[in-house]
Amino acid sequence: MKSFRTIAGVATFLAVTGVANAQDFKQRYIGKSPCSADIRSEQPDFSLRLDKTQNTTLLYRDLSNFRVVLIIQAKVPSDGCGVIRDVVQITRSTRNFEFRCFDPQAPTDVIVGTTARKYGDIKLVTAIDAWRIDLKERKFIETRHRVTCSADGWDGEDDDSDLVDESKKYAAHHKPGQFASESNH
């Protein structure tokens, strides 16, 4: 019984430490500009328009020891920097962020996730971790629902749509994990 208490105590300590580290991590970024020198990446960034009505984007950044996705809100659409509203990170090099994920229990929500997808593979996959984006609060909310991610459909001209529009398209055709224009994989 004593060893069980010791294990439980260590697990609690690690959980509390993990939460504290996550909070410290978020405090390091939230409210800053993604253009700040101390959080710039030597790798190219990847961004997607999140919600054009709020001038928000998702910005993926590889920071050598870990990777992050930031919710950036610009004061005006042409502002190239803006302010970081929230951030999620992954440290495992075998995981990749996915920006086209779908939760059948919340089909109109914008969802991002992580997968262990191999380069060039565009099949539908189940996310390892996933976050719903609270558009009102501009925050990532972790979800435990089964989420499907797709790497198909990123080519073509910029039609001024955003991830909110894409989520609505997904919800309208009722095919879990697929856009209307995609074929069955």
pLDDT for residue 27 is more than 70: yes
21 — pLDDT class (breaks 50, 70, 90)? low
**Stretch 46-62: mean pLDDT, rounded?**
92
State how far the Cα of 144 lies from the Cα of 131, in Å rounded to an integer: 9
pLDDT for residue 28 is more than 50: yes
Q: What share of the chain is helix, strand, coil (3-state, %, to 5)?
A: 25, 30, 45
pLDDT digits (tens, 9 = 90+) for 166-176: 888 878 876 65
Side chain identity at 132, as an amino acid letter? R
Q: Lowest-pLDDT range, 30-44, 46-60, 88-102, 143-157?
A: 143-157
The residue ranges of every structural domain in the chain are 1-29, 31-173
C-beta separation of 163 from 58 below 8 A = yes
Q: Decide which of 40 and 24 is more confident.
A: 40
Q: Closest Cα to residue 148, out of 173, 130, 165? A: 130
Q: Lowest-pLDDT range, 9-23, 37-51, 108-122?
A: 9-23
What's the DSSP call for residue 49? E
pTM of the model: 0.79
Q: Lowest-pLDDT range, 43-52, 67-76, 89-98?
A: 89-98
Q: Closest Cα to residue 58, out of 145, 116, 135? A: 135
